[in-house]
Amino acid sequence: MLILGIETSCDETGVAIYDSKKGLLGHKLYSQVKLHTKYGGVVPELASRDHINYIIPLIHDLLKDCKTNIQEIEAVAYTAGPGLSGALLVGSSVAESLACSLGIKSIPIHHLEGHLLAPMLEENKPEFPFIALLVSGGHSQLIHVKKLGEYKIIGDTLDDAAGEAFDKTAQLIGLGYPGGAALSKLAEKGTKRYNLPRPLLHSNGLDFSFSGLKTAVLYLVKKQKNLTEKIKADIAYAFEQSITDVLVKKTIQALKQEGLKRVIISGGVGANTTLRKKIIAESKENKFDCYFPDLSFCTDNGAMIALAGSLRLNMPNKENYSFSVKPRWKLTEI
Ligand code: KG4
Ligand code: ZN
């Protein structure tokens, strides 16, 4: 079966076609980063309007690239939440009206479930159950994924999410928005000069707290008389080392606590090379398997939504093509 996936929860318009037998046929992404950069963050109203501009042309291009006719699509999956309500409404209304006009099934998907399942787009897929470290702009969670739709959140952020901490730190050293990837690139040029806190590293629980780390960066930046490129790189390095140490330590703690031997890392921060390297090193040491989505499927994309749709195909049908989005949908309430 061919499933069209649509993602518009924030500032990326993503579309993809997933073949339940052959896998991913193709995907397209339009990032609004340039549009929001000058405001230092996502402006919800602008995001919704830009999704409207790009979603239909992207679907046309995708169908053309995949040499697929719209009539061949057999179901439409779309992100119904959580996210920005206006942005979610664009994807949902396009998906539901398309499904209605074609007389096919529509499948509302939880955005985080999309991230959780993204490693299954790869050839080497994880099997259930596994621990997921879901680290994105809005979330830092450790989840015991028992099977499709059965998610136990065992660790959560008490304040800033990991991606948010990356973005705020990047902003403090003048890297613009969203700064996670840029900060990580700068950190490659840094060396060990500063020692930043590793919040909750030694606590017994699995929760995260990164706002103190961000404040420590703020004080460090303020202390500098001349914030040279070298100092910026060293701060980026220290920040990345601290945050990844905490993420990795808690992930291993979660595997031990839940008695599991498989872990997946997903969400935008999952694209971080240092985090990946540290988890891979620990997996050899502690004998567990780790799985990652391709770098392009760590951040928001339509492919993970199309895949989630294909896995949810056999769930009970929605009764009609009416819909409502859930900007604050909890993963445990699917
Ligand atoms: O999953 P995502 O695209 O959106 C949400 O659902 O939130 O994640 C975006 C986040 C941003 O905070 C961005 O700065 C961060 O992921 N990010 C990174 C990297 N690439 C993206 N953080 C650290 N290292 C990266 N390479
Ligand atoms: Zn996301």
Is the bond preceding residue 126 a cis peptide, omega within 30 degrees? no
Strands of the sheet containing 75-81, edge to edge, are: 23-31, 12-19, 2-7, 75-81, 105-110
Which residue do the tokens 């719209």 mark?
70
Q: What separation in Å is there between the alpha carbon of 275 and the centre of ligand 1?
A: 13
- 271 CB within 6 A, ligand 1: yes
Q: What's the pLDDT score for residue 119?
A: 98
Mean pLDDT of 233-243: 98
Q: What is the chain's alpha carbon radius of gyration, rounded to the nearest angstrom?
A: 20
Residue type, 56: I
pLDDT tens digits, 68-109 = 999 999 999 999 999 999 999 999 999 999 999 999 999 999
Q: Which ranges constitute the DSSP H helices of 131-210? A: 162-172, 180-187
Nearest alpha carbon to residue 291 among 112, 142, 119, 118:
119
CA angle 176, 181, 186 (to 5 degrees): 80
pLDDT tens digits, 23-81 = 999 999 999 999 998 898 899 999 999 999 999 999 999 999 999 999 999 999 999 99
Average pLDDT, the chain: 96
- 200 CB within 6 A, ligand 1: no
- 32 CB within 6 A, ligand 1: no
Q: What separation in Å is there between the alpha carbon of 325 and the centre of ligand 2?
A: 16
Residue type, 320: N
pLDDT tens digits, 272-315 = 999 999 999 999 999 999 999 999 999 999 999 999 999 999 88
Residue 111 CA: which ligand 1 atom is closest? 6
DSSP one-letter code for 121:
G
Residue type, 268: G
Residue 298 CA: which ligand 1 atom is closest? 1
pLDDT at 319 over 90: no
Give residue 317's pLDDT band: very low, low, confident or very high (50, 70, 90). Answer: confident
pLDDT at 318 over 90: no
- 166 CB within 6 A, ligand 1: yes
For the chain, the maximum distance between any two Cα atoms, rounded to a whole number of angstroms, is 65
Q: What's the pLDDT score for residue 284?
A: 96
Give residue 166's pLDDT band: very low, low, confident or very high (50, 70, 90). Answer: very high
pTM here is 0.94
For residues 296 and 262, give the distance between their C-alpha atoms in angstroms, rounded to a whole number. Answer: 22
Q: Report residue 214 CA to chain centroid gap.
A: 21
Residue 170 CA: which ligand 1 atom is closest? 14
Q: Which residues contact 93 (CB under 8 A, 6 or more apart)?
A: 323
**Residue 75 corresponds to which tokens in the numbers above?**
């179901």
